[in-house]
Amino acid sequence: DQQVKQNSPSLSVQEGRISILNCDYTNSMFDYFLWYKKYPAEGPTFLISISSIKDKNEDGRFTVFLNKSAKHLSLHIVPSQPGDSAVYFCAASANSGTYKYIFGTGTRLKVLA
């Protein structure tokens, strides 16, 4: 039962354009969401997070949007750079006595120079 899904396994974007990575979740108890960037054989690197009390959070080139009614979040990267090429994971947690983050299946982003 995949509670966090990233339906696009891969995405290619031209350098300088916007990259939009999507994530859907099924558990309505999730109230905190994170995005991670991962290179092969390395640990995930934290990018940005958002709490369910917000619908948008911005940090430099990265913006995360949360649509609670649709159980959907997205990560926007503007402008995209070749160094952004990596696998991106969204993750979710529930502030209900649990201590774990559930990861999505990942989207491989390739930014073309």
The count of chain residues that interact with another protein, using the rule CB under 8 A, is: 25
CB 92 within 8 A of CB 102: yes
User: Which of 15, 62 has the CB closer to another protein?
Assistant: 62
State which residue, 49 or 74, has the beta carbon closest to another protein.
Answer: 49
At a CB cut-off of 8 Å and minimum separation 6, what does 113 contact? 15, 82
- Smallest distance from another protein to CB 74, Å: 18
**According to CB under 8 A, which residues from 27 to 86 bind another protein?**
31-32, 34, 36, 41-46, 49, 51
Nearer to another protein, 42 or 60 (CB): 42
Q: Is 105 helix (H, G, I), strand (E, B) or coil?
A: coil
| Residue type, position 59, single letter | D
- What DSSP string describes 25-58? E--TT--EEEEEEE-TTS--EEEEEEETT-SEEE
Residues that bind another protein (CB under 8 A): 31-32, 34, 36, 41-46, 49, 51, 89, 91, 93, 95, 98-106
